[in-house]
Amino acid sequence: MRRQLTLLAAMSAGLVASGCIIIANDGGGQTVITPTSPATARADTRVAIALSDPRRPEEDRARDALRMPLQVLTFAGISPGDHVADIRPEEGYFTRLFAPAVGDEGRVYAFVPTRTAEREKPYADALAATYGNVVPVVGLLDEMRFDTPLDVVFMSQEYHDFHIPAFGVDVARMNRAVYDALKPGGLYVVIDHSGRAGTGNSEVQTLHRIEGDFLKAEVEAAGFVFEDSSQALANPDDDRTVSVFDESIRGETDQFIYRFRKPG
């Protein structure tokens, strides 16, 4: 399989105490994160705890090899005490990771767009029933608001959909609403299916793909600074000419992960 990730269910107390936290094995040896501060140590430990949380369903664990949660959570900077919004979480794959990662002192907002609320609000309610720090929120994407400033706004494989006319979203206003919801220095993390260079948002409905440079320019126009990208979900074997739902590529599309920061 192109993406492989074997997760460890527990960590050695001695390694944690020494500052080296073994949290994954990629098939070629253990991945060791050496914290540079007590805060980093707590964050790394919490990611490992989230991955091994017993409340995660088996179907989520089965998807880990393709969704690369260790790399995603680390790249997104999810830390204990954070307030995180998971935009359109649907069944809640990432919400179920964020909740234990931020801990009891943190909060995760499961934001369900008004247009899809009839089907998806029950998912958010079920997440809240399982995790005491998950808060369901229903609203318009281009008017999203939260009751506290956020550390991270996270959006996985959804941004392109919001360009589909039927959603009725003003994407520029949505990005500005995200900007306004974040604390100064807060992060906007976006994962999406890569479109070919020059296609912009012209294939969001047909192939469910969006050109990375097009998305980057839109987000930057809201005031964000592009900070970094990750190749964790890249697949050079995807020629990006077929729908993401085509059986030849479903689950293994070429995807980009972008991290933007609100100045301050």
Q: Is the pLDDT at 6 greater than 80, yes or no?
A: no
- Give the integer Cα–Cα distance in Å for 174 and 210: 17
Q: Is the pLDDT at 32 greater than 80, yes or no?
A: no
How many Cα atoms sit within 13 Å of 239 on the Cβ side?
Answer: 3
pLDDT the model gives residue 46: 76
Q: Is residue 40 part of a domain?
A: no
Q: Is residue 19 part of a domain?
A: no
Q: 260 or 40: which carries more pLDDT confidence?
A: 260
Q: Can you give the CATH number for the domain in which 247 is found?
A: 3.40.50.150
pLDDT the model gives residue 49: 85
When pLDDT is averaged across residues 214-234 and rounded to a whole number, the result is 97
Measured in whole angstroms, the distance separating CA 230 from the mean position of its chain's CA atoms is: 12
Is the four-CA dihedral 99, 49, 250, 240 of positive or negative sign? Answer: positive
pLDDT the model gives residue 4: 40
The structural domain count of the chain equals 1
Report the relative pairing of strands 255-261 and 225-230 from DSSP bridges. Answer: antiparallel
Q: What is the pLDDT of residues 107-145, one digit of tens each?
A: 999 999 999 999 999 999 999 999 999 999 999 999 999
pLDDT the model gives residue 48: 83
Ranking 3-12, 169-178, 199-208 by mean pLDDT, the lowest is 3-12
Q: 94 or 35: which carries more pLDDT confidence?
A: 94
**Environment class of 125 (CB within 10 Å of its CB; exposed 0-12, middle 13-18, buried 19+):** middle
What are the backbone dihedrals phi and psi of residue 38, each rounded to the nearest 5 degrees, phi first? -55, -35
pLDDT the model gives residue 66: 94
CA–CA distances in Å: residue 51 to residues 8, 10, 145, 183: 8, 10, 29, 27
Q: Is the pLDDT at 33 greater than 70, yes or no?
A: no
Q: Is residue 182 part of a domain?
A: yes
Query: What DSSP letter does each residue of 169-224 carry, written as one string?
Result: --HHHHHHHHHHHEEEEEEEEEEEEBPPTT-TTTTTTTT--B-HHHHHHHHHHTT-
pLDDT the model gives residue 42: 55
Q: Is the pLDDT at 22 greater than 90, yes or no?
A: no
Q: Is residue 44 part of a domain?
A: no
Q: Is residue 158 part of a domain?
A: yes
pLDDT the model gives residue 17: 34
Ranking 2-11, 51-60, 234-243 by mean pLDDT, the lowest is 2-11
Q: Is residue 123 part of a domain?
A: yes
Crossing angle, helix 95-102 and helix 117-130, to 10 degrees? 30
Three-state DSSP class for residue 27: coil
Q: What is the pLDDT of residues 141-192, one digit of tens each?
A: 999 999 999 999 999 999 999 999 999 999 999 999 999 999 999 999 999 9
Q: Is the pLDDT at 38 greater than 70, yes or no?
A: no
Q: 16 or 264: which carries more pLDDT confidence?
A: 264
Containing domain of residue 209, as a range? Answer: 58-261
When pLDDT is averaged across residues 9-17 and rounded to a whole number, the result is 32
The answer to whether residues 195 and 240 touch, using CB atoms and an 8 Å cutoff, is: yes
Q: Is residue 214 part of a domain?
A: yes
Chain mean pLDDT for the chain: 87
Categorize the per-residue pLDDT at 45 as very low, low, confident or very high, splitting at 50, 70 and 90. confident
Q: Is the pLDDT at 95 greater than 60, yes or no?
A: yes
The answer to whether residues 219 and 260 touch, using CB atoms and an 8 Å cutoff, is: yes
Q: Is residue 51 part of a domain?
A: no
Query: What is the percent of the chain with per-residue pLDDT over 70, rounded to a whole number?
Result: 83
- Give the integer Cα–Cα distance in Å for 112 and 134: 13
